[in-house]
Amino acid sequence: MSEVSDPVVDFLILSTSSENFPLKDKDKTLRKSYESSGHTKERGRVLKKSLKIWVDIGHSPHVAFFVPIIRELEKEGHEVVITARNSFQTFDLLDLYGLKYKKIGVHYGNDKILKIYSHLIRAMRLLFFALGENFSVAASHGSQSLQIAACLLRIPQCMSCDYEPSFEPTFGKLMKVLRKVIVPEVVPDDVLLKTLKPQQIRKYPGIKEDVYVHNFRPDSGLLKALKISPKDIVVTLRPPATYAHYHSSESEKLMAGVISFALSKPGITLIFLPRTHKQKKEAIQLSKEHSGRVIVPPRVLDGLNVIWNSDLVVSGGGTMNREAAALGIPVYSIFQGPICSVDRHLEREGKLVFIESLNDIEKIRLEKREPVMQSLKKHFNLCSFLAHEIITTALDR
């Protein structure tokens, strides 16, 4: 794909280049404190002075990812300010975890023109919110609006990302102004280096879901609360993100096929986790037609706990697939967009099965799984590593 020129992005890159981005006196003091502390190469407590850290959450899957990182940062004595976009259960999940946040922006659907408009409008709202806040660093998981706002305010940025199409122009070009981009180690270097410089890239072992999955503690009371018999085979369904720019209508056909396949078998109960009001309405109607065998939770639930109480998962997205894989739960993907390296890696390891056609649905094994929790692999201290990278972004000039 050829690189697209965008005057707005070019301006942002020019205005935030190192030549035009002088080191502030307070940051010189922080750097001196950091270097004199003797921890320049140690992942741990590296600052004597607390930072004011801006975290922007644009999608519901990013909530669980940032919760342990935010708590780690606060444990280190730093102040964390959260902004969030109203994007399909983002607010509900933040409330579930008891986090305080500022509501800024909404999701405009999958129309490309509206998406660009919404990113720009939200970027301006974020910019005005941040004026006078004196943030030391900004962090997100791929928030394009934050990239624009923080660039214009010359706030150092640290961004995580695990989906390669995000590195394509035009917004991929905007990543050139980021201080750090943190990615799983399975993401190929040649993809990253199309957009980024080597010094911007930080890699970690495993997948982003490992940040929070290894701390998970299951609640065995979920099935009883949902009035599901322990004898039933429980299948959790997460429909496709119909509002996403990468959405393909083929995944909706596959989801319909999976539902028909599962409900044609006795002893199967489906937990349907809708993304949109339309999907919820359709699932409730489906439940009425099948004598309550389709369960639509009345409120937002802890996704990991739903997965853990399931015998298998079928999802049209990415995060729930990877969460199930990390927990050792059988998982099938009906995602029909560009497949990222992380998912291909999980497929090679036998932790994720792709359903690519209606004929593939027969691959799905509708059976009870063994009720034994595997030992969750902890990749060193991934949460501390990511918190450390955010902290040191404020210092690296």
Q: Give percent of the chain with pLDDT exceeding 90.
A: 57
pLDDT at residue 240, rounded to an integer: 87
* 371: in domain: no
Q: What is the mean pLDDT of residues 266-277?
A: 92
As beta bridge partners, residue 332 has 314, 353
Per the CB < 8 A criterion, the answer to whether 273 and 297 are in contact is yes
User: pLDDT: is 174 or 287 the higher one?
Assistant: 287
356 φ, ψ (degrees, to nearest 5): -105, -10
DSSP string, 38-102: T-TT-SS---SS--EEEEEE-STHHHHHHHHHHHHHHHTT-EEEEEEEE-SSHHHHHHHTT---E
Distances (CA, A) of 298 to 115, 204, 352: 30, 37, 29
Q: What is the dihedral of CA 19, 21, 26, 32, to 10 degrees?
A: -40
Q: Cis link prior to 195 (omega < 30° from 0)? A: no
Could you give the C-alpha distances from 250 to 253, 254, 277, 316, 358, in angstroms and in order? 5, 6, 20, 10, 10
Alpha-carbon gap, residue 226 to 306, rounded angstroms: 11
Residue 38's pLDDT band, with cuts at 50, 70 and 90, is very low
Look at residue 2 and tell me if it is in a domain: no
100: left (phi over 0), alpha (psi -120 to 50) or beta: beta
- 69 and 195 part of one domain: yes
Question: Does residue 166 lie within any of the structural domains?
Answer: yes
In the structure, what pLDDT confidence band is assigned to residue 48 with cuts at 50, 70 and 90? Answer: low
- Assess whether 158 and 20 both reside in one domain: yes
Report the candidate in 143, 100, 151 with the shortest Cα–Cα distance to residue 122: 143
List, for residues 280-339, the tens digit of each pLDDT value. Answer: 999 999 999 998 999 999 888 899 999 999 999 999 988 999 999 999 999 999 998 888
On whether residue 368 sits in a domain, the answer given is no
Q: Are residues 286 and 346 in the same domain?
A: yes
Q: Are residue 82 and residue 120 in the same domain, yes or no?
A: yes
Inform me whether the pLDDT recorded for 1 exceeds 80: no
> 43 and 91, same structural domain?
yes
Domain span at 163 = 7-214+381-393
What are the structure tokens assigned to 370, written together? 């063994």
Confidence check: pLDDT of 22 > 50: no
Higher-pLDDT residue of 247, 317 = 317
pLDDT at 40 over 50: no
Tokens of 241: 């993100």
CA 136-141-145 angle, 5° bins:
75
Region 13-18: what's the mean pLDDT? 38
Q: Give the global pTM.
A: 0.81
Q: What is the mean pLDDT of residues 72-98?
A: 93
Across all residues in the chain, what is the average pLDDT? 83
Give the pLDDT score at 145.
Answer: 92
Which pLDDT score, from 0 to 100, does residue 4 have?
35
Q: State how far the Cα of 103 lies from the Cα of 85, in Å rounded to an integer.
A: 6
Indicate if 114 and 160 belong to the same structural domain: yes
Mapped onto helix, strand or coil, the DSSP state of residue 199 is helix
pLDDT for residue 139 is more than 60? yes
Q: What is the tally of structural domains in the chain?
A: 2
Which runs of E-coded beta strand occur in the chain? 52-57, 79-86, 102-106, 137-140, 157-160, 180-184, 201-204, 233-238, 268-272, 294-295, 312-315, 331-333, 353-354
User: Burial of 115 by CB count in 10 Å (0-12 exposed, 13-18 middle, 19+ buried)?
Assistant: middle
Query: Within a domain: residue 301?
Result: yes
Same domain, 226 and 285: yes
Does a structural domain hold residue 369? no
Query: Does residue 175 share a domain with residue 235?
Result: no
pLDDT per position as a tens digit, 340-381: 899 999 999 999 999 999 999 999 999 999 865 555 555 558
> Which one is predicted more confidently, 6 or 267?
267
Residue 93, pLDDT > 70, answer yes
Answer with the residue of higher pLDDT: 391 or 214.
391
10 Å CB burial of residue 264 (0-12, 13-18, 19+) is exposed
Taking the CB of residue 136, how many other CB atoms lie within 10 A of it?
A: 24
Q: What's the pLDDT at 25? A: 40
Are residues 261 and 197 part of one domain?
A: no
Looking at the structure, do residues 207 and 232 belong to the same domain, yes or no?
A: no
Q: What is the pLDDT of residue 36?
A: 36
Helix or strand (DSSP H, E) at 328: none
DSSP state of 329: -
At 228 the pLDDT is: 95
Do 158 and 238 lie in one domain? The reply is no
For residues 95 and 142, membership in a common domain is answered with yes
Q: Is residue 321 part of a domain?
A: yes
Instruction: Please tell me the distance from the alpha carbon of residue 336 to that of residue 372, in angstroms, as a whole number.
Output: 32
Look at residue 393 and give its three-state secondary structure: helix
Kindly report the CATH number assigned to the domain that includes residue 247: 3.40.50.2000
For residue 42, the model assigns a pLDDT of 41
State residue 51's pLDDT score: 95
Mean of the pLDDT values across residues 89-104?
93
